[in-house]
Chain A
Amino acid sequence: MAMNMDGSKPIDLRDALFDAVHAMASKDPRVIFITADMGSWSLTRFREHLPGQFINIGISEQNMIGVAAGLALEGKRVFVYAIIPFLVLRCLEQIKVDLCMMNLPVTLIGGGPGLCYASDGPTHHAIEDVSVMRALPGMTIYNPCDQYAAQAAVRQAFDQQGPVYIRLDKGRYDIIHKPDAAFEDGVISLKSGAGLLIIGTGIMTQQALKIAEMLRPAACGVGIADLFRISPLPCRKLLDLIKKSTHIITLEEHVITGGIGSAISELLADNNLNIPLRRIGIADVYCSQYGCRECMRKSVGLDDVSIKNNIVKWIGAANC
């Protein structure tokens, strides 16, 4: 596992993100954190240090959005936290009416993107949320892939005037970005290339880096980009990368209907670009077996080997 710049080990993405909110709340009493009964070590610290700015609202996510809207209307900067299906899908209409229609600065932190809650089963999987949230006018979506991206998502959310959605994975992941990377660009090139471009999002960007290694030595000049901000799509920066490529792969732990593959295909269509695109994600199914995340990925063709084979089959070994 890659180390931090100072030699320390990576920290859990949740702690990175929540500690960033905690630091902001320490300086600004307007910052309020509401959880729907979800915790972490860092949230325990937050609650003990700033009990007046921390609310456990119980398992009532819809009420959480309404209360957050009421607080935001009165000038508070509210962060709310729940597992994605219960935050996004259960509360979709609250998010639309209470937040998006009035453009309120509430940040939704969704725990467990994709197959993160693997053996908990499809009730806990979050494989449709990007499609749904992309459709909401005014919604900004961040999908951080490492601890620095998670911290940047909090900084950018705080500066935002409208609603924000952050997909928050759990666990320790390799440091991919520099602390001062240009997160404001929304997409960050990790490897430049002139042939195949793999666009990953969230921790699938971690996997994209592994796949690129697996494609070597055949892979000469595979480009990798991390789509940190899914919406609004960073069109100009993406086009700069796309126009240098001959083939594009999008990689997401999400259904391909409406996810980042759809977003990139819309970008190509809107700009009259005829560049071959392969959307790699989850087909039109819910997982029907249980196991660890890697096992679940294998079952839907999102493990390293399946993805590599998928790419090789698509563009031919000679072109990889």
Chain B
Amino acid sequence: MNIPSIDAEALHRKARQLRLRILEAIAKAGKGHIGGAYSCLDILVALYHGKVLNVDPRNPKWPERDRFILSKGHSGIALYAVLSDLGFFDVAAMNTVCQDGSSLGEHPDHRIPGVEIDTGSLGHGLNIGAGMALNAKMDGLPYFTFVLLGDGECYEGTVWEALLFAAHHQLNNLVAIIDRNRQITLDFTEDCIRLEPLEKKICDFGWDVVMVDGHSYEKLNAVLKASRQPESRKPLAIIANTIKGKGVSFMERQLKWHHGMPNAQEIEIARKELSSP
């Protein structure tokens, strides 16, 4: 399989820049889910800046575009950072997140250019994505549907209904990416309700499953681009092992930063870390 290569270092630089924008937006908003935004940001940058997704910022509703659903809607600010950086809408809008009268709330809204559906309630995205993928199969359309879920979201029973459905209908144009940061709000997933062995469970539901380092652009690029050239009739789940709070040392793997709000001193430390090369 011929996988186009990427400039991993350039993507890392881009991700640092976007993490800083997310930090500034959350500082201005006075609220946000920074930990999960940072755990999935490299996946989003790999998908969008790494040109896995076939999308056009000048024509967000282009019929042949790939469909991307951020099912873990509480990481909306990470998606806004990526979409605005690519020109789906003005980067200046990042300063308005959660502000009075803004079109950018904490969770994605289908009226935002580049956003397919409303999310924020967990356990909806994969079902809707399965419907979109089924539509492509019915009509012989070439687009792929990518859905990014949180691992905590996999506690929702609807996720497993969608896994059953997509496998039965052989939706190999559907890719589920699980941001496996192993944390929920109050606990670590394996201490709350065990998800492991997650790979085996999803495999047993009739999906192909691959594991990947969710912060390695080389590995993400290889897996994500290969997903567009399916060799089986099964849908594909990518379990991306990630670190919640990735990129800011004191936030990494700390439960506090699910939706903790950094104080002025912490913001300054985070700024320095994200600004240094």
The chain A residues found within 8 Å of chain B, CB to CB, are 52, 57-58, 60, 62-63, 65-76, 93-94, 97-98, 101-102
- Minimum distance in angstroms from A312 CB to a CB of chain B: 49
Asked if residues A70 and B158 are in contact (CB atoms below 8 Å), the reply is no
The chain B residues found within 8 Å of chain A, CB to CB, are 110, 116-118, 120-121, 124, 126-136, 138, 157-158, 161-162, 164-165
CA distance A69 to B118 in the complex (A): 11
CA distance A72 to B134 in the complex (A): 11
The A-B contact count (CB < 8 A) is 79
Asked if residues B121 and A97 are in contact (CB atoms below 8 Å), the reply is yes
Interface of B is mostly: helix
Asked if residues A73 and B127 are in contact (CB atoms below 8 Å), the reply is no
CA distance A69 to B130 in the complex (A): 10
CA distance A97 to B121 in the complex (A): 8
Asked if residues A73 and B117 are in contact (CB atoms below 8 Å), the reply is yes
Asked if residues A102 and B129 are in contact (CB atoms below 8 Å), the reply is no
Which residue of B has the minimal Cβ distance to A59? B161
Q: Which residues of B contact A102 (CB under 8 A)?
A: 110, 117-118
Interface of A is mostly: helix
Asked if residues A73 and B128 are in contact (CB atoms below 8 Å), the reply is yes
Asked if residues B165 and A70 are in contact (CB atoms below 8 Å), the reply is no
CB<8 Å pairs between A and B, sample of 24: A52-B138, A57-B165, A58-B164, A60-B161, A60-B165, A62-B157, A63-B161, A63-B164, A63-B165, A65-B127, A66-B162, A67-B127, A69-B117, A69-B128, A69-B131, A70-B128, A70-B129, A70-B130, A71-B134, A73-B128, A74-B135, A97-B120, A97-B124, A102-B110
Asked if residues A66 and B134 are in contact (CB atoms below 8 Å), the reply is no
Which residue of A has the minimal Cβ distance to B156? A62
- 6 closest A-B pairs (Cβ-Cβ)? A70-B131, A66-B127, A63-B161, A74-B135, A67-B131, A70-B132
Max chain B Cβ within 10 angstroms of own Cβ: one of A60, A74, A101: A74
Asked if residues A101 and B124 are in contact (CB atoms below 8 Å), the reply is no
- Minimum distance in angstroms from A161 CB to a CB of chain B: 15
Asked if residues A67 and B128 are in contact (CB atoms below 8 Å), the reply is yes
Q: A57-B165, A97-B118 are in contact. Are A62 and B131 (CB under 8 A)?
A: no
CA distance A58 to B157 in the complex (A): 15
- Minimum distance in angstroms from A233 CB to a CB of chain B: 27
Asked if residues B118 and A71 are in contact (CB atoms below 8 Å), the reply is no
Asked if residues B121 and A93 are in contact (CB atoms below 8 Å), the reply is yes
Q: Which residues of A contact B130 (CB under 8 A)?
A: 63, 66-67, 70
CA distance A69 to B121 in the complex (A): 15
Q: Which residues of B contact A60 (CB under 8 A)?
A: 161, 164-165
Q: Which residues of A contact B164 (CB under 8 A)?
A: 58, 60, 63
